[in-house]
Structure 1
């Protein structure tokens, strides 16, 4: 796929993150993970499944009553992408593994995206997706307790509300109903409420070094989602100069973790 990387989507995300002054302009570097705003696919409405995801695609396994989760991934920034200049993304199937989990058999699919600009490899982005047949039993409860204090030097509250989830879904062409259809999320997928996007949590973790140590360029990010954050819960993104980042919930447990590497 080819994308011109126009400044518009990046400017919108900067506004969504309440940092409109941080929007990169023409020729400026795109922050880590912001390439997720580009190379979007908008299939015909008739091609969507009951969950809002495309029913068919290049790397979707042909299993019945398929449910999908984003488990984590690895980002390598060989050189930052530059806004407003054409880029080419090549996507390949990097691996398929069957594993046995607490809720039964799961299929792990790894997709590798390589993004080139001016013929140079700039980004390698590997994403681990988990597929399961049939809906999972409810294993989560809404935790409405206040957040505990954190001693980490870098902190950023997750101020998630319905408009934020809607805007991020639109920005990333994500029509998965768990992010905007509360009855579906609760009654079909078994969640206690709307689910905050895993990619949004990853973007927020990548924001910490960008905001607190702008002189240090992120060259790598390994991240993993352990448990969803639900609308109505308080969560905090934490980290420090050692590159260890996390999203913690009300009881202090880790909902997502990441390790950043710096130039």
Structure 2
């Protein structure tokens, strides 16, 4: 049984200069032009990274301990979604302070047993001016999953939307994204571990990568995004064709719109709204 009573980590701050290298590297992974000045929404995930010592990692590749890692046994982590609000974009070359704090926890019962939902809030500021606020939702469970995912389909999904970006994530792409985000979770690059230990039918495509691909649609259309909400609904696996799809809303005007990741069989792997 999951018990986190009394777990109340303190907020902390870290300051970093937004160097151009990480954005240039991610643009290469996505086969797109790099940003010239403003960091696109969610590309802040390439910065403010934790870099623990190798001895401090657990068998899954995640740190054994951390400020916002709940103290539960045999902890397994899943990316669930989040929200991002931008007042002014983070700019390449600027020095930004990120304040991180535990926003909420919620214990729920799912098909695989008890799950702990943890929301961490990050506030980004430059010289005291608040730039953006991110809330990231993570799900933790303890022990082995009760239900194993079915074998994935590799059929090309149907996609009929004003904005469409078709993708297939191979192990090389997953490795490069793991390296850029300093994410050592073995489900993204160690197929034997992903299938034999965590019960996946293959390597798992990063939830943050799917969210960034959703945001590529308005970015490539020249649309500015000030608010974003996204939710991971189903895993996507290496080798599966999928499509980032979107609608600009308001007949293509400046109003909000909807975004999604569509996997084989018409499965919605991620849904999002933006304004």
TM-score range, shorter chain: over 0.9
Runs of 4+ in 1 over 3 A off after TM superposition: none
Residue 33 in structure 1 maps to residue 42 in structure 2: yes
Residue 251 in structure 1 maps to residue 262 in structure 2: no
Residue 47 in structure 1 maps to residue 56 in structure 2: yes
Q: Is the 8 A contact 1:5 1:38 kept in 2?
A: yes
Residue 117 in structure 1 maps to residue 130 in structure 2: no
CA–CA separation in structure 2 for the residues paired with 1:122 and 1:30: 12
* Aligned residue number for residue 23 of structure 1: 34
Residue 260 in structure 1 maps to residue 269 in structure 2: no
- Structure 2: which 5+ runs fail to align? 1-13, 250-256
Matches within 5 A, 1:234-249: 234-242=241-249, 243-249=257-263
After superposing the two structures, state which structure 1 stretch, 128-137 or 174-183, moved more. Answer: 128-137
CA–CA separation in structure 2 for the residues paired with 1:90 and 1:234: 37
Residue 70 in structure 1 maps to residue 79 in structure 2: yes
Q: How many residues align?
A: 255
- Structure 1: which 5+ runs fail to align? none
> Cα distance, 1:141 vs. partner?
2.7
CA–CA separation in structure 2 for the residues paired with 1:143 and 1:154: 25
Q: Is the 8 A contact 1:13 1:171 kept in 2?
A: yes
- Of residues 174, 187, 196, the one that matches 1:187 is 196
CA–CA separation in structure 2 for the residues paired with 1:73 and 1:101: 19
Matches within 5 A, 1:1-263: 1-19=14-32, 22-25=33-36, 28-212=37-221, 214=222, 216-242=223-249, 243-261=257-275
CA–CA separation in structure 2 for the residues paired with 1:148 and 1:79: 36
- Structure 1 residues 213-259: Cα deviation after superposition (integer angstroms, max 9, x where no partner): x0x31001100000110012111110111211100111112011000
> Cα distance, 1:138 vs. partner?
4.6
Q: Is the 8 A contact 1:147 1:252 kept in 2?
A: no
TM-score (normalizing by structure 1): 0.94
Q: Is the 8 A contact 2:157 2:262 kept in 1?
A: no
CA–CA separation in structure 1 for the residues paired with 2:158 and 2:114: 38
